Amino acid sequence: MVEKLTFTHPLSKYLRVDRLPHIWCEGCGNGIVLNCFIRALDELGANLDELVVVSGIGCIGRIAGYVNVDSFHTTHGRAIAIATGIKLANPRLKVVVISGDGDLFAIGGNHFIHAARRNVNLTVICVNNFNYGMTGGQLGPTTPLDSITTTSPYGNVESPFNLAHLAASSGAVYVARWTAFHIHELTKSIKASLKRRGFTFIEVISPCPELYGRYNKMGRGVDMMNWLKRVSEVRHGCDPAKAEVSSSKIVVGEFVSVDKPTYDQLIYQLMERVKGGSSVEGGG
Amino acid sequence: MKKPTTFKAKLKIVEEFCKGCDYCIEFCPVDALKRSERPNLRGVCPPKLKDEGTCIACGLCERICPDLAICLER
Q: What is the CATH number of the domain that holds A265?
A: 3.40.50.970
Residue A84 resides in a domain: yes
Residue A203 resides in a domain: yes
pLDDT tens per residue across span A149-188 = 999 999 999 999 999 999 999 999 999 999 999 999 999 9
Closest CA to B16 of A8, A271, A159: A8
Distance from CA of B4 to the nearest CA of A (A): 23
Stated pTM of the model: 0.91
A35 and B65 in contact by Cβ < 8 A? yes
CB neighbour burial string for A137-161, b if at least 16 within 10 angstroms, e if fewer: bbbbbbbbeebbbeebeeebeeebb
Residue A8 resides in a domain: no
Task: Write down the pLDDT at residue A1.
Answer: 43
**CATH number of the B10-73 domain:** 3.30.70.20
Answer whether A143's CB lies under 8 Å from A131's CB: yes
Residue A117 resides in a domain: yes
When CB atoms are compared, the residue of A8, A28, A36 closest to B63 is: A36
Closest CA to A94 of A16, A40, A171: A40
Residue A32 resides in a domain: no
Q: Is A39 on the interface with B (CB under 8 A)?
A: yes
DSSP characters over A87-141: HHH-TTSEEEEEEEHIIIIIITHHHHHHHHHHT-S-EEEEEE-SEETTTTSEE-T
Question: pLDDT band at residue A283, thresholds of 50, 70 and 90?
Answer: very low
Closest CA to A53 of A36, A65, A39, A40: A65
- Number of domains chain A is built from: 1
What kind and span of H or E run contains B34?
strand B33-35
A222 and B41 in contact by Cβ < 8 A? no
**How many Cα neighbours within 13 Å face the side chain of A272?**
6
Domain housing A93: 48-273
Residue A161 resides in a domain: yes
Q: Is B43 on the interface with A (CB under 8 A)?
A: no
Residue A54 resides in a domain: yes
Q: Is the pLDDT of residue A278 over 80?
A: no
B26 and A22 in contact by Cβ < 8 A? no
